[in-house]
Structure 1
Amino acid sequence: MWRARLRFAALSLLAMGTLLYAAGFAMGRLLLQTQETAIRRELQSLAGTLHDSLKPALPQEARPSGALASVLPGLCLVGKPCMPPKDLIHRHAISASDPDRYKLRVFDHHGNLIASSPGALPVGGKPGLLGWALTGEGAGERWGTYAIHLHRANGPGQPVWGYLQISSSLAHLDAEANRLWWMGHGVFALAMAGVALASWWLAGLAMAPLLEAYRRQEQFSADVAHELRTPLANLLAVVEAERSTAEPSTSHRQVASLDRVLAQGRRLQQLIADLLLLASLERSSPQSLRVPCDLTEIVMDVVEEFSEAAAAAEVSLRAGHLTPGVRVLGVESELSRLAINLLSNAIQYTPVGGVVHVTLEQQSREIVLAISDSGPGIPADQQARIFDRFTRLDPARSRQQGGTGLGLAIAQAIARRHGGGITVQSEAGQGAAFMLRLPAGH
């Protein structure tokens, strides 16, 4: 049941984690886009203010000149020495020329640079599209740039004097995005740890009624089976006594009826024993009961024991490669029962003249016992059900041979009890191969 609880908690964690991550990612992107929009509006507003301030003072020609230098203090003219402003008033005559905050470029109407702010400038020389643009992406520092036309006067038909391009570094925005990324993922990791604990706890609460019902069903099955053992044993004893003391004058029909009662009684007795075994396998076994067992010897004993049954069924039982000295930490009687169930199932579904192969090998730290038959095979849609209780692919054949439908369920329960499992590979009409995988013991 802990596997079901773990699966339920993992699904809850996945759902909650996906929602939390998507919500956090969307909020982070929204916050960064809001700040980027604020920078864009700031540059747009500043560009408009500069345009209105410069328009009446622009010289006649758009070229590097003393007149342009007086209009744009703090900018460096192309082809001339870049002289710093003489005093604080000139340095801040145009606040946008402050190189710590903004970078300015002035172009003529042909797009040739004629003046720019000192220091490092954003990537890109000539003005691109008018309006907002991002420059420098993929080359290190990103810049937000806004470009507008420059005119000397108002009025229709006024030619374009040049272009004004104002840029602001987005390094602080990128640094904040980086901090937000790390902070967001740190908070997400902490939140996921809390959600994992909550999911495990809630999964336990949700499964508690199911687990209790399952335990009650198991206890009921065990109690019923236990209570039926004594009256059934008494009934079989009476029938066996009647059958053994039957008079010669007893009719053949009466003797046949007693034989059928005995057969069905023994089948019911076997069913009760299997149910009790399954109930005991569902409970965890003390580690003290587990000892190193020679699985090779167990398999060889089972093969030898079934050799006569296979010969009677006209089935060839072949023990292939059996690695000697393969040891498993477990209970010898349960491992023997596991091998018996798998081998009897293979013989039961193998037709006359068929072959059953048994191999045992150790692969690294894993032991693999393979039992294959040449029977009718198992359809793909039925392979997931064959380890369920009372599952019979051929009910008539199983009942005829005295099967209870619990053999593979018991085998799988024993395998899981020993830390392994059983898988099946089969195609219709091509037989079936059951693979038992167990951790190697010492």
Structure 2
Amino acid sequence: MSRSRLQLAAVYLAVIGVILYGAGLGMFGLLMRSNWSALEREVETVAGTLHDSLKPLLPAEARPSPQLAAVLPGLCLVGSPCQPAPSLIPRHAVSITDSERFYLRLLDPRGALIAHSPGSPRVKAERPGPTWMVVAGLGGDRFLQYSIHLHHSHTPAHPGANAQELDWGYLQIGRSLSGLDAERQRLWWATQTIVVLALLVAGLASWWLSGLAMRPLLAAYRQQEQFTADAAHELRAPLANLLAVVEAHKTQLSADPLAGEHALAVVYGQGQRLSRLISDLLLLARLDGPEAGAGLQSCSLTQIARDLLEETSEGASIAEVQLRLQGGDDDLNVLGVESELYRLVSNMLLNAIQYTPSGGEVVLSLKREGSHGLLEVQDSGIGITPADQQRIFDRFFRSDPGRSRRQGGTGLGLSIVAAIVRRHRGAITVRSDGHSGSCFTVTLPLAANSPGLPVPR
């Protein structure tokens, strides 16, 4: 069982682990996508602002020139040494030429580099339209690069003419990804740590849940073991008697016909006992199986009780036990299997008669309580102790084993009663002070067409 519990806990943990890890990766991806989108919006905003600021200031030709150096003093012109930027630079130029965050590159219409920020990575220009790409800078730092067309305003020669915007070249802006990479590492390790801690807790919970799941299986397994042992014990006794009688008859030298008849009577009695035991086991197996709804019909519990009271009256007279019916004026109809209901009432009456001494009384009561019918069997017998009341419906259990075996009981009567009650969606209880008398009460739901019940509309 420990191995099965470990396997079940491992399955629980594997399922929970897949769910947790998938959820962690999904959350990690959503957070990183959100940060990436925010970074793209920042780069697009800076690029648009810079483009609008540079458009009226750009020189007529896209080439390295003093005019271009004057527009963006923080850039390095191709073919000229980088000059230190003056102290007073426009705010956007300061932010763009900050090598720790951004770099700026200007290209002519053919895609040739004409100016760049100090320390900007050397990459091939991407000319066809606005594009995104990730490039590696000096020292292995990564940058998110955005490329757009750069225009400049052309002042018309004649007054009143509309100003024209002409393609000047390309503008490339790169944003450092060092902060995003650091955030990715922090989120990744945080996700892994949370998942590992959650898996540890899930492992303990899986072990506990597997224990809960194994409890009914373990109880059923132990009950099956006990049932097998009890069944083997019950079958062994009549078989041993049969074999003993046969061996004695084989070794008997006299041809006494009375001894032969006695031996045959013993064999027949033990065979009958075996037959009853096997029939009861088969009935229990059928009752434990799936319920067959096709065989259900409306059965009169009152009529069944009256019929069985007449059938068992002879046996009660032989045992010198008074048997009487109390109530039973109402016709109580139960939806069920008539043969099973007959067996239910018969077993309860025979059990009460069996454990009631001579001169005692067994009372069968019938009454209605709302939408349920109550069937009670009260006897004045030996009673049932509180400890036995917990096991009275177990298979092969006997409060008085000697009396039951002498009278041919199999120890399955009340087990069959409990199985039939469960099959008919009812309940059974027992009351006894443990010294004298006991009362078994069966509650069964009445059929919809039972007299006295409201007719559904």
Residues 141 and 225 of structure 1, relative CA distance in 2, 3 Å threshold: same
1:64 corresponding residue in structure 2: 64
- Contact kept, 8 Å, 1:130 with 1:146, in 2: the verdict is no
1:233 corresponding residue in structure 2: 240
1:224 corresponding residue in structure 2: 231
Shift of 1:92: 6.5
Distance across 2 between alignment mates of 1:164 and 1:152: 12
Distance across 2 between alignment mates of 1:235 and 1:181: 78
2:433 corresponding residue in structure 1: none
1:248-259 alignment to 2 at 5 Å?
A: none
- Contact kept, 8 Å, 1:113 with 1:125, in 2: the verdict is no
Residues 67 and 218 of structure 1, relative CA distance in 2, 3 Å threshold: same
- Contact kept, 8 Å, 2:82 with 2:118, in 1: the verdict is yes
Shift of 1:227: 4.4
- Contact kept, 8 Å, 2:109 with 2:168, in 1: the verdict is yes
In the alignment, structure 1 residue 159 sits paired with structure 2 residue 174: no
Counterpart code for 2:7: R
Residues 91 and 49 of structure 1, relative CA distance in 2, 3 Å threshold: closer
Residues 153 and 38 of structure 1, relative CA distance in 2, 3 Å threshold: same
Residues 178 and 246 of structure 1, relative CA distance in 2, 3 Å threshold: farther
1:133 corresponding residue in structure 2: 132
1:38-49 alignment to 2 at 5 Å?
A: 38-49=38-49
Shift of 1:203: 1.4
Counterpart code for 1:130: G
2:218 to 211, 216, 224: 211
In the alignment, structure 1 residue 200 sits paired with structure 2 residue 207: yes
Residues 170 and 190 of structure 1, relative CA distance in 2, 3 Å threshold: same
Residues 140 and 231 of structure 1, relative CA distance in 2, 3 Å threshold: farther
Q: Classify the secondary structure of the residue corresponding to 1:145.
A: strand
Distance across 2 between alignment mates of 1:137 and 1:4: 54
1:239-388 alignment to 2 at 5 Å?
A: 239-245=246-252
Shift of 1:113: 0.3
Shift of 1:131: 2.6
Shift of 1:108: 0.7
Counterpart code for 1:95: S
Distance across 1 between alignment mates of 2:190 and 2:135: 26
Can you list the C-alpha shifts for 1:348-395, whole angstroms capped at 9, x where unaligned?
A: xxxxxxxxxxxxxxxxxxxxxxxxxxxxxxxxxxxxxxxxxxxxxxxx
Counterpart code for 2:110: H
Distance across 1 between alignment mates of 2:128 and 2:9: 53
- Contact kept, 8 Å, 2:131 with 2:148, in 1: the verdict is no
Distance across 1 between alignment mates of 2:88 and 2:164: 39
Distance across 2 between alignment mates of 1:153 and 1:230: 114
Distance across 2 between alignment mates of 1:152 and 1:94: 21
Give me the identity figure in percent: 53
Counterpart code for 1:131: P
Residues 114 and 84 of structure 1, relative CA distance in 2, 3 Å threshold: same
Moved more, 60-69 or 152-161: 152-161
Shift of 1:246: 6.1
Can you list the C-alpha shifts for 1:15-45, whole angstroms capped at 9, x where unaligned?
A: 2111111111111111111111111111101
Residues 203 and 39 of structure 1, relative CA distance in 2, 3 Å threshold: same
Shift of 1:127: 2.6
Can you list the C-alpha shifts for 1:79-129, whole angstroms capped at 9, x where unaligned?
A: 10101112154686442122221010000111110000001x235231344
1:18 corresponding residue in structure 2: 18
Shift of 1:196: 1.2
1:178 corresponding residue in structure 2: 185
Distance across 1 between alignment mates of 2:134 and 2:122: 6
- Contact kept, 8 Å, 1:107 with 1:162, in 2: the verdict is yes
1:111 corresponding residue in structure 2: 111
- TM-score, normalization by structure 1: 0.53
Q: Classify the secondary structure of the residue corresponding to 2:132.
A: strand
- TM-score, normalization by structure 2: 0.51
Residues 74 and 127 of structure 1, relative CA distance in 2, 3 Å threshold: same
Task: Figure out how many residues of one structure are paired with residues of the other and give that number.
Answer: 258
In the alignment, structure 1 residue 190 sits paired with structure 2 residue 189: no
Shift of 1:61: 1.1
Counterpart code for 1:213: A
- Contact kept, 8 Å, 1:122 with 1:135, in 2: the verdict is no
Counterpart code for 2:104: L
Q: Classify the secondary structure of the residue corresponding to 2:152.
A: coil
- Contact kept, 8 Å, 1:74 with 1:90, in 2: the verdict is no
Shift of 1:226: 3.2
Q: Classify the secondary structure of the residue corresponding to 1:57.
A: coil
1:37 corresponding residue in structure 2: 37
Residues 29 and 246 of structure 1, relative CA distance in 2, 3 Å threshold: farther
Counterpart code for 2:227: F
Distance across 2 between alignment mates of 1:108 and 1:200: 69
Residues 40 and 132 of structure 1, relative CA distance in 2, 3 Å threshold: farther
Distance across 2 between alignment mates of 1:123 and 1:205: 65
1:147 corresponding residue in structure 2: 147
Q: Classify the secondary structure of the residue corresponding to 2:167.
A: coil
- Contact kept, 8 Å, 1:73 with 1:90, in 2: the verdict is no
- Contact kept, 8 Å, 2:130 with 2:149, in 1: the verdict is no
Shift of 1:12: 1.7
Q: What residue ranges of structure 1 are gaps of 5+ in the alignment?
A: 269-442
Shift of 1:77: 0.5
Residues 60 and 4 of structure 1, relative CA distance in 2, 3 Å threshold: same
Counterpart code for 1:163: Y
2:73 corresponding residue in structure 1: 73
Distance across 1 between alignment mates of 2:62 and 2:147: 17
Q: What residue ranges of structure 2 are gaps of 5+ in the alignment?
A: 155-161, 275-457
Q: Decide which structure has the larger Cα Rg and report it.
A: 2
Distance across 1 between alignment mates of 2:252 and 2:14: 70
Distance across 2 between alignment mates of 1:118 and 1:156: 34
Residues 25 and 37 of structure 1, relative CA distance in 2, 3 Å threshold: same
Shift of 1:157: 6.8
